């Protein structure tokens, strides 16, 4: 005789199906690589563009919405590398590289201006590079809703402008100082990301990078912080080596009853934070799925 289910019976499967959101929504932080600093009283590199759904996003834009994801569907992830810092008459600076999560792309930070193999103007990026003592006197623009512009250069003595940050323009906190990044608690603790690199001065005195991993301008300039997307510090004085930009990062936050699969080519870790899991991807290009 076949068994019948009581009218009031609800299976564990039905309870779970009613509770699990369909599709899954994922909060994200996507930070691109920071730009390299310029050389010879060079400008600071601009921070990598920053897009986020928790706490704050870059460029003074409105907070973004979590991404709807279908379980079992592979999504592309790329963590952008930082740009190369310039060395006068040897190497030119480069922009940072873009970071990607599915349809979300953050733009690499702009390089800082200076006198390298040729006169180098600062570049537009997620946040713009600061102007150097040679070329354009004006810092480059950032990208809307990702970051701010780099700072202008100065004279007497010559100095480069601070690189733009996700939270403010270069030079906001003083001459040559990199713009600050923004803070988010997506990982469970409040951390600043995407600070601009400090500009350099002929006399060689150092200038601070922005809060959020920006490298300091000086002789030599220092690198932006790895996985924070900070711009490299400008190079000046006797040692005109500028700092490299810091690499970006992709952080994903989602309900803890889902399990993520991180594909080959990506380096990442997952941690439990109460009712959520947080996956931090620090390098590479590949796919993820749930």
Tally Cβ neighbours within 10 Å of residue 284.
16
Contact 47, 59 (CB under 8 A): no
Check residue 16 and give its pLDDT: 45
CB-CB neighbours of 4 under 10 Å: 7
Exposed (0-12), middle (13-18) or buried (19+): which is 217, by Cβ within 10 Å?
buried
Residue-wise pLDDT for 270-289, tens only, equals 999 999 999 999 999 999 99
Residue whose C-alpha is closest to residue 109's, from 38, 207, 178, 196: 196
Rounded to whole angstroms, the Cα distance separating 55 from 50 reads 12
Q: Is the pLDDT of residue 166 over 50?
A: yes
Give the residue from 148, 145, 116 showing the smallest Cα distance to 129.
148
Q: What is the pLDDT of residues 46-101, one digit of tens each?
A: 999 999 999 999 999 999 999 999 999 999 999 999 999 999 888 999 999 999 99
Q: Is 251 helix (H, G, I), strand (E, B) or coil?
A: strand
Which structure tokens are listed for 20? Answer: 């699990």
Report whether 140 contacts 152 (CB < 8 A): no
pLDDT (average), residues 219-248: 95
Separation CA 247–CA 82 (nearest Å) = 4
Residue 173, SS3? coil
Find, among 111, 109, 152, 110, the residue nearest to 133 by Cα: 152
The mean pLDDT value of the chain amounts to 91
Other CB atoms within 10 Å distance of the CB of residue 138: 18
Read off the pLDDT band of 225 (50, 70, 90): very high
Task: Report pLDDT for 17.
Answer: 43
Model confidence at 15: pLDDT above 80: no
Task: Identify the pLDDT of residue 22.
Answer: 59
> Which backbone phi and psi does 46 adopt, to 5 degrees?
-75, 145
């Amino acid at each position: 005789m076949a068994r019948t289910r009581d009218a009031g019976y609800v299976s564990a499967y039905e309870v779970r199906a009613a509770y699990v959101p369909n599709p899954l929504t994922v909060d994200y932080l996507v930070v691109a690589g920071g730009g390299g600093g310029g050389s010879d009283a060079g400008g600071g590199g601009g921070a990598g563009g920053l897009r986020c759904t928790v706490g704050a996003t870059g460029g003074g834009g409105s907070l973004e919405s979590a991404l709807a994801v279908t379980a079992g569907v592979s999504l592309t992830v790329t963590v952008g590398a930082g740009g190369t810092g310039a060395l006068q008459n040897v190497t030119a600076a480069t922009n940072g590289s873009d970071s990607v999560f599915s349809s979300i792309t953050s733009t690499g930070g702009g390089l800082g201006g200076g006198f390298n193999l040729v006169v180098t103007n600062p570049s537009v990026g997620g946040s713009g590079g600061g102007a150097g003592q040679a070329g354009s006197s004006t810092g480059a623009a950032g990208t809307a809703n990702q970051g701010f512009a780099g700072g202008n250069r100065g004279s007497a003595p010559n100095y480069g402008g601070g690189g733009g940050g996700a939270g403010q323009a270069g030079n906001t906190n003083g001459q040559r100082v990199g713009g600050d990044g923004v803070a988010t608690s997506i990982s469970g603790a409040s951390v600043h990301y995407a600070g601009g690199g400090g500009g350099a001065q002929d006399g060689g005195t150092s200038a601070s990078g922005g809060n959020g991993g920006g490298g300091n301008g000086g002789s030599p300039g220092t690198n932006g912080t790895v996985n924070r997307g900070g711009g490299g510090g400008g190079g000046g004085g006797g040692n005109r080596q500028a700092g490299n930009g810091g690499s970006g990062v992709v952080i994903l936050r989602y309900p803890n009853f889902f399990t993520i699969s991180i594909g080959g080519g990506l380096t990442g870790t997952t941690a439990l934070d109460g009712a959520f899991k947080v996956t931090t991807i620090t390098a590479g290009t590949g796919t993820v799925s749930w």
